[in-house]
Amino acid sequence: MPKKPMIAKICPSCKQQVPVACKSCPCGHFFYNARRIAREFALEADFRRRTARVRREKPNYYDALEYDKHIKKVRALKKRVSECEVDDEEDEKRG
């Protein structure tokens, strides 16, 4: 049975093939440091690119007027949904 080719990485400083499990090359190059620096650079790039999460404003339930407004909105939404369901049922009966 033929041997499978060895999986290796190439050292950027001496261009020598080194087994994947090795953290350093015989020439003295450390692969781990290069990977860590690349990861830090990627994190900085992501941090600059991303925007903050937009959050909805929460009502102030300690203010009675604010609480009443919120309750009215919820009731209005429920009423609209129930009216739509009634209209749908009437359409089904006609159809």
Q: Which pair of tokens denotes residue 9?
A: 């990485």
Residue 66's domain comprises: 56-95
Based on the fold, state whether residues 62 and 91 are members of the same structural domain: yes
How many structural domains are present in the chain? 2
* Res. 92 pLDDT band, cuts 50 70 90: low
pLDDT of residue 42 exceeding 80, the answer is: no
Cβ contact 14:27 at 8 Å: yes
Q: Is the pTM of this model over 0.75?
A: no
Based on the fold, state whether residues 72 and 94 are members of the same structural domain: yes
* Res. 43 pLDDT band, cuts 50 70 90: low
Q: Is residue 2 part of a domain?
A: no
Per-residue pLDDT of 21-31, as tens digits, reads: 888 888 988 87
- For the chain, give the mean pLDDT: 74
Q: Mean pLDDT throughout 35-57?
A: 66
Within a 10 A sphere around the Cβ of 11, how many other Cβ atoms?
19
